[in-house]
Structure 1
Amino acid sequence: MKTLFADGPDPRYAPEIDEFGRLAGAWRTRITCHPTDGAPPYSVNGASEFGYALDGRAVIDVWRRPAREDAPADGRAPDQESGLCVRIWDPRLQLWRFTFHGTAHGDAVHMYAHRIGDEIVMERAHGGTLVRWIFADVTADAFHWRNERSTDGGHTWHLDQEVHARRR
């Protein structure tokens, strides 16, 4: 896997790569889902690991819920999911190309990401729905991530999911 993993960012694009690269390492997460049917929100512990990849021009992460140490002894949980995220800096477009692959339901999500103020915003249009995933409040030891959806062209947004993370 020497071709996949990298020790750090490509020096030519280090400031851009480090937008996500500063998350390199292991994280304990608390994932809260906000159902659209009016049911109360529910939370589960999870885990994420970020790292540099592909000659330092990408940042990947893998995550799971529940966290391995919180999963039942047989390793199966009713709402178990694990996923792989690949973020590749595109110097020509000056933005990130982002892909998520989820294993439980076969989800594949493609987005573009860019910095807006202090946040990193990943966006896509899917049918008549706008979706954005946002990294906010990023510090050396914590970050907040949220998944929002709009069905009215971005006038109003519904919070679908959020993650509060602490560095391990």
Structure 2
Amino acid sequence: MTPKMRTLMWRRDWDGNSMEQATVRRDDSGIEIAGTVLLAEKGAPLRVEYRVQCDAGWITRRVEVSQDFEGATQSLTLLHDGAGNWRLNGAAAPALSGCTDIDLGVSPSTNALPVNRLRPAIGEMAEIRAAWVRFPEMIVTAAPQAYDRLAERRYRYRNLDSDFKAVMEVDEDGFPIGYEGIWTRIADGAPARGLPHALAAALFSPGPSPELGESAKAFDWVIGGWRGEVFDYAEDGTARTGEGEWWFSWALEGRAIQDIWIAPPRGEREGGDLPVRDRYSTTLRWLDGDGETWRILWLNPVTGVLNRLSGRLTDGRIVLEGEEYGRPARWSFNDITPDSFVWRGESQQEDGSWRLDAEFRLRRITPR
């Protein structure tokens, strides 16, 4: 099957202040729904990003969700074996046993999963247990639900734990068009096919892979954006000073962290005489097989420097060692707090001592 893609947009009717945009991709391997929901939750902005992957039978297999709310970012990952057994953030979730579908409480898009999977005859009803993600609590519970098929493209949804029910009109692909006073679809079209957007969607992840377990905590704190002072030291100890920006995200299904380090920062890079060394670089960090050692690959295309380092978190400090320009090099995260840290680069001298080459004093500029 040639991949079929479309982008849908809904407005939440009961408050008129919330929107969702989701891109649906379907091919022989299955279905992926990736969306962003912007809501006003009791007067506070709530942003939810999600990716739901299903097999060719519309059975949920993997879910990644993150939310930004009241200055904090939270994420979760759900894995489903297709037979009713779930794992939440890497741990078995027996409370979800028997659930067949994911139900994101802020999104109409996930109603398409049971609609397409069940397809009861007109006049018939099907019952399911869904893994229901509640926002902004970010908790997952099992929810018994029913879908009554009223007409070719009309269903009544019922939550069997409450008296809530609503009629949905769906399109030929099972996605809601109208959801009885709750959601209305306001746009439907071809997705943007720009490479940067598609690449970012494939590369970045909302959180660490459950495979990493507790090891993810060594670097999870650094996710987000940072800005701060840059000090580049010459051999005589004099310093060139300026500023830089640093952006970190989980990547590659959450098995690695990728960052972008820019100094001077964007908007201050014009002209030939830069105040500090020119860096527009990227780093990939991944966990070695021992579960403690992180390997680092840093590339700065501006100068052609490629560094390979490795190290681990010890006593609240991360020390990474390798080589730079043929000499032993050491880079370290120091004085770590939730909103600041100091990044130092050192080179080993012929007498075995370490010389400070660079120091970056960073402060957080995005919520975590």
TM-score range normalised by the length of the shorter chain: 0.7 to 0.9
SS in structure 1 at match of 2:207: coil
Of 219, 222, 227 in structure 2, the residue corresponding to residue 23 of structure 1 is: 222
Q: 1:61 to 1:158 in 2, by over 3 A?
A: same
Question: What is the letter of the counterpart of residue 312 of structure 2?
Answer: H
Q: What residue number does 1:109 align with?
A: 307
Whether the 8 Å CA contact 1:66–1:77 is kept in 2: the answer is no
Q: 2:279 aligned with 1:81, yes or no?
A: yes
Mapped to 2, the partners of 1:90 and 1:129 lie a distance apart of 23
Residues 44-123 of structure 1 aligned to structure 2 (within 5 Å) = 44-72=242-270, 78=274, 79-92=277-290, 94-123=292-321
Question: What is the letter of the counterpart of residue 296 of structure 2?
Answer: F
Q: 1:8 to 1:150 in 2, by over 3 A?
A: same
1:138: Cα distance to partner? 1.3
Question: What is the letter of the counterpart of residue 355 of structure 2?
Answer: H
1:157: Cα distance to partner? 0.9
Q: What residue number does 1:13 align with?
A: 212
CA RMSD of aligned residues (A): 2.0
Question: What is the letter of the counterpart of residue 330 of structure 2?
Answer: R
Mapped to 2, the partners of 1:128 and 1:105 lie a distance apart of 15
Q: What residue number does 2:346 align with?
A: 148
Mapped to 1, the partners of 2:324 and 2:360 lie a distance apart of 22
Aligned length: 164
Of 134, 138, 161 in structure 1, the residue corresponding to residue 358 of structure 2 is: 161
Question: What is the letter of the counterpart of residue 60 of structure 1?
Answer: Q
Q: 1:85 to 1:108 in 2, by over 3 A?
A: same
Larger Rg: 2
How does the TM-score come out when normalised to structure 1?
0.87
Q: Percent identity?
A: 27
Whether the 8 Å CA contact 1:31–1:43 is kept in 2: the answer is yes
SS in structure 2 at match of 1:69: coil
Whether the 8 Å CA contact 2:308–2:323 is kept in 1: the answer is no
Mapped to 1, the partners of 2:334 and 2:237 lie a distance apart of 26
1:161: Cα distance to partner? 0.3
Whether the 8 Å CA contact 1:17–1:59 is kept in 2: the answer is no
How does the TM-score come out when normalised to structure 2?
0.42
Mapped to 1, the partners of 2:219 and 2:202 lie a distance apart of 19
SS in structure 1 at match of 2:228: strand
Question: What is the letter of the counterpart of residue 315 of structure 2?
Answer: G
Mapped to 2, the partners of 1:111 and 1:30 lie a distance apart of 23
User: 1:17-61 CA deviation, whole Å, 9 max, x = no partner?
Assistant: 23122111111121101111x152121111010010111111111
Q: 1:128 to 1:67 in 2, by over 3 A?
A: closer
Whether the 8 Å CA contact 1:61–1:86 is kept in 2: the answer is yes
Question: What is the letter of the counterpart of residue 67 of structure 1?
Answer: P
SS in structure 2 at match of 1:136: strand
Question: What is the letter of the counterpart of residue 280 of structure 2?
Answer: S
